[in-house]
A and B are shown apart, each in its own frame.
Chain A
Amino acid sequence: MVTGASRGIGRAIARKLASAGADVAAIYYLSHAAAESLSAEVRALGRRSIAIQANVASPESIGEAFETFRRDFDRLDILVSNAASGVLRPAMELSLKHWRWCLETNALALNLLAQAAAPLLGRDSRIIAISRLGARRAMPGYAFVGASKAALEALVRSLAQELGPRGIRVNAVSAGVVDTDALQAFPNREEILSEFERRAPMAARLAPEDVADAVYLLALPEAGMVTGHTLVVDGGYSVSG
């Protein structure tokens, strides 16, 4: 199950896992056509796939999504909490409504998903959350999104501790600037991309597939003792002075 699967990083993750042999439940919010086309792509690979509409910030909506999921699938091996949303403004202009929107969509959702998924998760199943460098670094306009991603990473550690005894691993992938539709929301999109490319030692732009590959690595059985970890995928940007 991949949330926010219709576009960008979520879509790349769904494709990667499907190409590695996974069936895919694609959770999406409003992008019906994109979600359906992804599911069609996955089915063309010979895997099963359904698209399910849900608001990941709503317990009721998550409950409905899992009811739908259970009609087609009897277990869940990999849960990827990727859906994200935010309000990009200076902290001094942000309100309680914005806080709730960011924190509920970007952090609470992981907990709601884990709770709903728990009965379907067996030993060796994995939960992987998608975070951002903004969880640890200040970026203009990113205050509440950054705070929500910091909360997400903290939640990953707690869930790893709680679910470890059941053989469930919980990790995060923290991505640098990735060139997706979501970046269109930033007025200085091109400047952000070029600055990232200039400063990252690997000197390349990150593609959604780079993040998907890291999710795949964490999902491998060989990562069987990796849990509570946040794997940074940024071409070395964040360690470079």
Chain B
Amino acid sequence: MSEKAERMSEDHVVTKDEVSAVYPEVAKAIAEALGRDADDIELESRLVGDLNAESIDFLDIVFRLERAFRIKIPRGEIVQDARGDLPEEEFAVKGCLTEVGLARLREYLDEIPLENFRHPMRVSEVPLLFTVETFAKLVVRARRQGAAEKEGQDHGFPPR
């Protein structure tokens, strides 16, 4: 495997300042989707473990974030993005993350304490890890992607 495949692109690095900038609106969207007070939400809160979010709540949260930030978050974006240019079969086998896949995911979801990652871990279990910060980072990346596409269109390039 190439070194490139083992490392994530630096484009994916999100700074604390970028997270802080979007956090209030992200927390508001999550609180509204879950019918909770904004005070219940913290950057480190786990959506499933702490806030009792279910799969339908994830749909609602993504919709609210897309509308609030005027962004597009493709279905399965976090796992797809974490996999990056890694071939699918090197990322997961029969629905279970490989060693390399797990390493990729840990690197991508660097806001999540290492002890929260199970081993072995099924791809379907990945959403159990998500925190409020995971969604803030998702928003930051989607805004960058949107800006890049707009710039490409402004310069006559097709969107990625």
A residues at B contact (CB < 8 Å) = 29-33, 53, 55, 61, 85, 87, 97-98, 101
27 examples of A-B residue contacts, CB within 8 angstroms: A29-B59, A29-B63, A30-B59, A30-B62, A30-B63, A30-B66, A30-B73, A30-B75, A31-B75, A32-B72, A32-B74, A33-B74, A53-B63, A53-B66, A53-B67, A55-B60, A55-B63, A61-B67, A85-B56, A85-B59, A87-B54, A87-B56, A97-B35, A97-B54, A97-B56, A98-B56, A101-B56
CA distance A194 to B74 in the complex (A): 32
Name 14 extra pairs, CB < 8 A, besides A30-B75, A32-B74.
Answer: A29-B59, A29-B63, A30-B59, A30-B62, A30-B73, A32-B72, A33-B74, A53-B63, A55-B60, A85-B56, A87-B54, A97-B35, A97-B56, A98-B56
CA distance A55 to B59 in the complex (A): 10
Closest Cβ of chain A to B94, distance in Å, is: 16
CA distance A32 to B75 in the complex (A): 9
B residues at A contact (CB < 8 Å) = 35, 54, 56, 59-60, 62-63, 66-67, 72-75
Q: Which residues of B contact A32 (CB under 8 A)?
A: 72, 74
CA distance A87 to B35 in the complex (A): 18
CA distance A101 to B58 in the complex (A): 13
Q: Which residues of B contact A85 (CB under 8 A)?
A: 56, 59
Closest Cβ of chain A to B74, distance in Å, is: 7
Q: Which residues of A contact B66 (CB under 8 A)?
A: 30, 53
CA distance A109 to B98 in the complex (A): 42
Q: Which residues of A contact B59 (CB under 8 A)?
A: 29-30, 85
CA distance A31 to B66 in the complex (A): 12
Q: Which residues of A contact B56 (CB under 8 A)?
A: 85, 87, 97-98, 101
| Nearest CB in chain B to that of A98: its residue | B56
Closest Cβ of chain A to B29, distance in Å, is: 13
Closest Cβ of chain A to B146, distance in Å, is: 11
CA distance A145 to B67 in the complex (A): 27
Closest Cβ of chain B to A6, distance in Å, is: 11
| Residue from the set A29, A30, A61 with the largest chain B CB neighbour count within 10 Å | A30
Closest 5 pairs (CB-CB, A-B): A32-B72, A101-B56, A55-B63, A30-B62, A30-B63
Q: Which residues of B contact A30 (CB under 8 A)?
A: 59, 62-63, 66, 73, 75
Q: Which residues of A contact B35 (CB under 8 A)?
A: 97
| Nearest CB in chain A to that of B35: its residue | A97
CA distance A177 to B7 in the complex (A): 44
Closest Cβ of chain A to B135, distance in Å, is: 14
Q: Which residues of B contact A87 (CB under 8 A)?
A: 54, 56
CA distance A120 to B74 in the complex (A): 32
Q: Which residues of B contact A29 (CB under 8 A)?
A: 59, 63
CA distance A32 to B73 in the complex (A): 9
CA distance A87 to B58 in the complex (A): 13
CA distance A33 to B145 in the complex (A): 15
| Nearest CB in chain B to that of A105: its residue | B56
Closest Cβ of chain A to B57, distance in Å, is: 8
CA distance A97 to B74 in the complex (A): 25
| Nearest CB in chain B to that of A32: its residue | B72
Q: Which residues of A contact B72 (CB under 8 A)?
A: 32
Q: Which residues of B contact A61 (CB under 8 A)?
A: 67
Q: Which residues of A contact B54 (CB under 8 A)?
A: 87, 97
CA distance A241 to B54 in the complex (A): 38
